[in-house]
Amino acid sequence: MSEQQHIDKSRKEIDRLDNEILRLLNERSRHVITIGKAKRKADPQALLHTAGREAFVVDRLVRQNTGPFPNEAIRPVYREIMSASLSLEGTQTVAYLGPPATFTHLAALGKFGASAQYVPVGGIKEVFDEVERERAIYGVVPVENSTEGAVNYTLDMFVDSNLLIYGEIMQEISHHLMSKCERIEDVEKIHSHSQALAQCRNWLNTNMDAVPVVEASSTSRAAERCAEEPRSAAIASELAAHMYGLNVLKSRIEDNINNCTRFLVLCKHGAEPTGSDKTSVMLSFKDKAGALYDLLRPVASSGINMTKIESRPSRRKAWEYIFFVDIEGHIREDRIRRTIEELKSRCLFLKVLGSYPVHS
C-alpha cells in the first residue's frame, strides 16, 4: 500500500470517527436536556451550571486518559461541550468588565465557553448590579493580580453586596504592545488600563521612557482608541489586536513572565461542595493589641489552612479595618461551620462571601 493510500484510509477512518463523535454528542445532549427539565421541575430557580459537576467530569476524564490526546486539551474541549449543552437548557448570561477582549472577558470565556451569552459593562460596580438585578446569572470580576496585588474596588463592593462567590478563575495575563503603526519608533502615545501599565512598568521605562502614557478605562478601550489614532499604541490582549485590526509590535511585555490574575465568579446562589473547596469571609473586630491573633486562633486550632488574608479600611470609621480571609473547606463541613461560628462570636461583624471549588 502506498503512502497516499495509507493517508486516504486514515482519513476515511477519521471521518467515520467524527460521525460517531457527533452522534454521541447529540446523545449526550439529550441526557443533558432531560436533567435540565428535572432540575427545573424540582426547583424553578435552580442553576443549570454546576461548577462541582464540571470539575468532576474533567478530572475523571484526565485520570482515565491514556493518550496520545493531551490532558491539557481535555479541559477546553469539554468546557465547550458543556457550554453548548447548557445552552440547550437555557441562556447562561454572564456579565463582565468590558468591552469585549478585556482579560476579564477572556477569563469568562475560559470558564463558561463560547455558547454562553456575555454582557459587557463599564465597571466592576456594574457587574455586581447586573447580577443583583437578575439581568445576568453570573458576573466575573478581577480580585487579585500576582504582580500588583488586590483589586481593592472589588473587595470594597462586597461590604454592601449580598452576592456570593460562586467560583474563581486563574487567568494568565500576557500584555502586547499594538498599534496601527508598523514600527515601535513611530509610536507617539501609549494607552492602557492602570493595572496593565503597572504590570509593564519596567519594560516601558527601559524601552519607551520618552513616550507619554495615557490611562484608559480598560485594555480593550485602549485598543479601540488606537484603531482611531494611527500614531498611538495600546497595551492589551492578543484578542484585542485581532478585534481592532492592530499590529502587534512587541509580544509579552509584562515584567513578570508568571503574571496571573485571579477572577471571581459572582452569583445569587452558592456552589455545591466538591471535596476541594475554599470559603471566603469578610470580618471586622475592635482594634486592640493581639486582636488579630486572638481572632485567627480558632482557625489554627481547628487545623484549617488559611490561604489568604487581606485588609481594607472600613470607610466607616477612621483606623477601622475589614479583613478578607480565605480558608480551605466548604461552609457545609462541620469543622468549617463551627470555626466560623466561633469567629463570629469574637467579631464586630462577620459575613460569609461564599464557598466554591478551588481552581485546578
- Per residue in 97-151, pLDDT (tens digit) is 888 999 999 999 989 998 999 999 988 999 999 999 999 999 999 999 887 777 8
Q: Phi-psi region for residue 139, left (φ > 0), alpha (ψ -120 to 50) or beta?
A: beta
Average pLDDT over residues 302-327: 81
How many whole angstroms separate alpha carbon 150 and alpha carbon 148?
7
What band does 179 get if pLDDT is binned at 50, 70 and 90? very high
Cell 447586573 belongs to 130
- What is 3-89's CATH topology? Chorismate Mutase Domain, subunit A (1.20.59)
How many whole angstroms separate alpha carbon 240 and alpha carbon 223?
6
Q: Tell me: pLDDT of 2 over 70.
A: yes
How many whole angstroms separate alpha carbon 108 and alpha carbon 98?
11
pLDDT at 19: 95
Q: Is 106 exposed, middle or buried (0-12, 13-18, 19+ CB in 10 A)?
A: buried
Contact 338, 350 (CB under 8 A): no
Helix (H, G, I), strand (E, B) or coil at 309: strand
Q: What is the mean pLDDT of the chain?
A: 89
Helix (H, G, I), strand (E, B) or coil at 305: coil
* Beta-ladder partners of 171: 261
Contact 238, 174 (CB under 8 A): yes
277-357 has which CATH code? 3.30.70.260
Q: Check if CATH label 3.40.190.10 holds for domain 178-250.
A: yes
What band does 348 get if pLDDT is binned at 50, 70 and 90? confident
| Longest Cα separation, the chain | 84
Contact 92, 117 (CB under 8 A): yes
Helix, strand, coil: what percent of the chain each, to 5?
A: 45, 25, 30
CA angle 331, 334, 337 (to 5 degrees): 45
* Beta-ladder partners of 283: 323, 350
What band does 317 get if pLDDT is binned at 50, 70 and 90? low
Q: Tell me: pLDDT of 57 over 90.
A: no
Contact 244, 150 (CB under 8 A): no
Average pLDDT over residues 31-55: 76
Q: Tell me: pLDDT of 222 over 90.
A: yes
Architecture of domain 93-173+260-267: 3-Layer(aba) Sandwich (3.40)
Q: Tell me: pLDDT of 43 over 90.
A: no
Q: Tell me: pLDDT of 360 over 60.
A: no
Q: Where are the domains of the chain?
A: 3-89, 93-173+260-267, 178-250, 277-357
pLDDT at 48: 64
By C-alpha distance, which of 158, 166, 356 is closest to 269?
A: 166
pLDDT at 321: 78
Average pLDDT over residues 203-232: 94
Cell 463592593 belongs to 157
Cα-to-chain-centroid distance, residue 246: 26
**Runs of H (alpha helix) within the chain:** 3-42, 51-64, 71-89, 103-112, 124-132, 152-157, 194-199, 201-207, 219-228, 238-243, 291-301, 334-346
pLDDT at 148: 75
Could you tell me the three cell numbers for 48? 443549570
For residues 151 and 70, which has the higher predicted lDDT (pLDDT)?
A: 70
Q: Tell me: pLDDT of 96 over 80.
A: yes
Domains 3-89 and 178-250 share a fold: no
Contact 48, 92 (CB under 8 A): yes
How many Cα atoms are found within 13 Å in the side-chain-facing hemisphere of 32? 21
How many whole angstroms separate alpha carbon 101 and alpha carbon 120?
10
By C-alpha distance, which of 132, 67, 130 is closest to 97?
A: 130
State residue 20 phi and psi, 5-degree precision. Answer: -70, -40
By C-alpha distance, which of 220, 212, 180, 179 is closest to 196?
A: 220
